[in-house]
Amino acid sequence: MYLKAALNWEPIVAIRPAQFGRSLIAITFGLSFNASISAQETVTAPSPAVVTTTPVESTTPPVPAATTTEANSLSDAEILERLPKLPTAQLQNLLSVYARLKNDQMSDSIMAELNRRAPGSITAEMTRSMRNEALGIDNASPNPYEVEETQIDVLTTRKQYAETIAIMEQLRIQKLGGRYFPLEGSAIAGKLFDGNDRA
Amino acid sequence: METTEPDFEGWTFMGDIHRMLGNTTMAGASYKRALEYLKTSLTSDEDIVQSNQ
């Protein structure tokens, strides 16, 4: 389109020295220019746009690639055979991974071996906790004061401190027999209250 | 900065993060890498023991 307009410009320039009226020149140029546009639109096809492709960074994390060590590693059956010989720390590591992989057969076998080595309720509880932790199960016991804690949190957020203190005092007298609250660091707080640790 | 290959704890930790984000496929892949690492360390430990005997 631009090229056509330039070509049509030449006759107009040629006319100007001949003292033609300015308006006539303008009309002539305008007509020729419009004609060139229409001609251009009918003849030429739109030039294809140049598409530049930029590498898009992948948002998905890379899949861990397999290594050559896998060929040399033991099978599950071989692990089971060696369980009695393996150190306890390695058994615990294996249990944590097999439990995460939800391989119940291997997990049960390793737990049985761990419990065989150190029979007792504490060991069994620890092993079960370790497995639950691996499975993402909460090991914490239910909080007996959850309702009161929620109430206190809400009141404190609303800055209703008098009501908060009243609920806490009621809880302390009725459920804790007038003792200190079983909070973290309560032993230190108790000593401070008694004045034992004061300088 | 020198980087090292993550050990089984690293792969397990990565798997836990993927599991927490709901990406079970990636979590499983990371846990398998952790297991492979453990199995490989077991065989290498045995090799060391046998070479010392």
DSSP of A71-82: GGSPPHHHHHHH
Question: Rounded distance, CA A106 to CA A80, Å?
Answer: 8
Tens digit of each residue's pLDDT, chain B (53 residues): 566 677 888 999 999 899 888 999 999 999 999 999 998 888 776 655 555 55
Residues of B with Cβ-Cβ distance to A73 under 8 angstroms: 36, 39-40, 43
How large is the average pLDDT for residues A168-174?
A: 82
- Report the gap between the CA of A103 and the closest CA in chain B (Å): 11
Residues of B with Cβ-Cβ distance to A90 under 8 angstroms: 38, 41-42
**Whole-number pLDDT of residue B35:** 92
**Whole-number pLDDT of residue B20:** 87
**Whole-number pLDDT of residue B36:** 92
Highest mean pLDDT among A23-37, A62-76, A137-151, A181-195: A137-151
- If one compares A10 and A173, the residue with the highest pLDDT of the two is A173
What ranges do the domains of chain B cover? Answer: 1-42
pLDDT at A177 over 70: yes
**Whole-number pLDDT of residue B25:** 93
pLDDT at A26 over 60: no
> Cα A157 to chain center, whole Å?
29
Q: Closest by alpha carbon to A87, among A107, A110, A120, A69?
A: A110
- Report the gap between the CA of B3 and the closest CA in chain A (Å): 16
Record: contact B35-A74, CB cut-off 8 A: no
pLDDT at A120 over 80: no
Q: Which amino acid is at B7?
A: D
pLDDT at A29 over 50: no
Q: Which of A60, A92, A93 should be substituted to probe chain B, the one whose Cβ sees the most B Cβ atoms within 10 Å?
A: A93
Contacting A residues, span 80-99, partner chain B, CB-CB under 8 Å: 82, 86, 90, 93-94, 96-98
How large is the average pLDDT for residues A67-96?
A: 81
pLDDT at A142 over 80: no
What ranges do the domains of chain A cover? Answer: 2-43, 74-134, 146-194
How large is the average pLDDT for residues A51-60?
A: 48
Residues of A with Cβ-Cβ distance to B39 under 8 angstroms: 73-74, 79
pLDDT band at A125 (very low <50, low <70, confident <90, very high): confident
pLDDT at A13 over 60: no
CA-based R_g, chain B, Å: 14
